[in-house]
């Protein structure tokens, strides 16, 4: 595998899931594969799970790891070409990227949507610059429009916990004081659309996602109706996508906070969230602490999804 930025890069999901469950049984099975190979992880934004789970995955495979936080200790990077660099940015990304590429074999990049210009975000300008100029295989550790390592872990988790062949999975918007990127809901929808699950998205009017990601999902504006008979509730907040409202908070209506009342409408659904989560904004204490909350095993599966992805990328280096 030469890159991992979306579900299509993984190819057949059945075989990817089989590989994930094989690695889960013995996560050190391929501990020699990454010997003398170096992973560089570049963070433009904060992280707990992605940072730790991806490093752990690299260690499982015997890799060396370097981590760079661009905004803490590195030179400030200019990302636009043609800018007269008379401001506070000391280095251009077009030199920085090939330099970083010269020190490693594989690069992971985290670069969130900036919410300044939808076209800039949805063209994945930063991630694509790494792909174009690093000379190395690149994978996304959450980019402007997708978070595929998270979505792969989410799929592994649903496959582990489902008790029906075709579970009902509901992605619900939830309130948050600040606008959050659409990467997680976009990506979750993209991955769910590759399955034959009954997949529903619910949000207040104005929070419609890019139709490209919504795909075949049923969109239901009544959250309680959407929750009826659900087997999995996947909560996430996101800022508006459409028109001039791009990147704005349109509602902080706490009646959308996932609480026991809504969960009672479901078929004893499991509760999922990618974390970090703001309690009693997105989900109540009771729901996230109840025995149907699977947010911790979901986060633990980030190590598994990252191990599969890195294993395939190392294998791709040999070809
Ligand atoms: N879910 C997730 O990506 O967590 P972090 O932002 O902490 O990496």
pLDDT for the residue 178: 96
Tens digit of each residue's pLDDT (9 = 90 or more) over 133-173:
999 999 999 999 999 999 999 999 999 999 999 999 999 99
Q: Which residue has the tokens 């959050």?
A: 180
Residues 124-129, mean pLDDT to the nearest whole number: 96
Q: Are 127 and 141 in contact (CB under 8 A)?
A: no
Tens digit of each residue's pLDDT (9 = 90 or more) over 226-240:
999 999 999 999 999
Is the pLDDT score of 52 beyond 70? yes
pLDDT for the residue 73: 86
Tens digit of each residue's pLDDT (9 = 90 or more) over 186-212:
999 999 999 999 999 999 999 999 999
**Could you tell me the pLDDT band of residue 319, with boundaries at 50, 70 and 90?**
low
pLDDT for the residue 285: 98
Residues 87-105, mean pLDDT to the nearest whole number: 97
Ligand 1 centroid from CA 196, angstroms: 27
Q: Which is nearest to 189 in space by CA: 159, 221, 146?
A: 146
pLDDT for the residue 181: 98
Average pLDDT, the chain: 97
Tens digit of each residue's pLDDT (9 = 90 or more) over 166-176:
999 999 999 99
Q: Which is nearest to 183 in space by CA: 145, 227, 157?
A: 145
Ligand 1 neighbours, Cβ below 6 Å, are 47-50, 142, 150, 274-276
Residues 32-50, mean pLDDT to the nearest whole number: 97
Closest ligand 1 atom to the C-alpha of 110?
A: 8
Give bridge partners of residue 220 from the DSSP assignment: 202
Q: How far apart are CA 228 and CA 292, in angstroms?
A: 16
Give bridge partners of residue 253 from the DSSP assignment: none
Q: How far apart are CA 13 and CA 27, in angstroms?
A: 19
Q: Whose CA is closest to atom 1 on ligand 1?
A: 274
Residues 106-120, mean pLDDT to the nearest whole number: 97
Q: What is the CA radius of gyration of the chain?
A: 20
Ligand 1 centroid from CA 299, angstroms: 9
Share of residues in the chain with pLDDT > 90 (%): 97
pLDDT for the residue 318: 73
Ligand 1 centroid from CA 149, angstroms: 10
Ligand 1 centroid from CA 95, angstroms: 28
Backbone angles phi, psi at 126, to 5 degrees: -70, -50
How many CA atoms are closer than 13 Å to the CA of 82, on its beta-carbon side? 0
Residues 214-225, mean pLDDT to the nearest whole number: 98
Pocket test of ligand 1: the residue of 45, 112, 295, 302 to mutate, having most ligand atoms within 8 Å of its CB, is 302
């Amino acid at each position: 595998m030469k890159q991992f930025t979306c579900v299509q890069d993984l190819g057949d999901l059945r075989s990817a899931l089989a590989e994930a469950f094989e690695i889960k049984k013995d996560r050190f099975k391929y501990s020699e594969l990454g010997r003398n190979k170096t992973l560089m992880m570049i963070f433009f934004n904060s992280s707990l799970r992605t940072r730790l789970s991806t490093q752990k995955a690299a260690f499982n495979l015997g890799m060396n790891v370097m981590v760079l936080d661009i905004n803490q200790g590195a030179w400030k990077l200019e990302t636009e070409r043609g800018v007269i660099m008379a401001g506070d940015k000391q280095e251009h990304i077009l030199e920085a990227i090939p330099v970083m590429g010269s020190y490693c074999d594989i690069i992971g990049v985290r670069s969130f949507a900036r919410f300044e210009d939808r076209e800039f975000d949805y063209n994945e300008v930063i991630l694509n610059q790494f792909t174009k100029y690093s000379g190395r295989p690149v994978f996304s550790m959450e980019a402007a429009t997708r978070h595929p390592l998270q979505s792969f872990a989410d799929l592994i988790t649903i496959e582990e916990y489902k008790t029906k062949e075709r579970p009902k999975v509901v992605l619900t918007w939830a309130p948050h004081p600040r606008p959050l990127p659409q990467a997680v809901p976009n990506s979750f929808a993209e991955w769910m659309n590759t399955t034959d699950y009954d997949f529903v998205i619910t949000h207040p009017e104005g929070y419609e996602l890019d139709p490209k990601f919504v795909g075949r999902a049923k969109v239901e504006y009544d959250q309680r109706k959407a929750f009826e008979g659900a087997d999995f509730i996947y909560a996430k907040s996101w800022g508006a996508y459409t028109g001039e409202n791009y990147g704005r908070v349109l509602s902080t209506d706490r009646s959308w906070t996932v609480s026991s009342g809504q969960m009672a409408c479901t078929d004893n659904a499991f509760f999922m969230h990618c974390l970090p989560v703001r309690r009693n904004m997105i989900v109540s204490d009771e729901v996230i602490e109840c025995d149907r909350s699977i947010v911790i095993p979901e986060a633990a599966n980030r190590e598994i999804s990252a191990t599969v992805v890195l294993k395939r990328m190392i294998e791709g280096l040999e070809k």
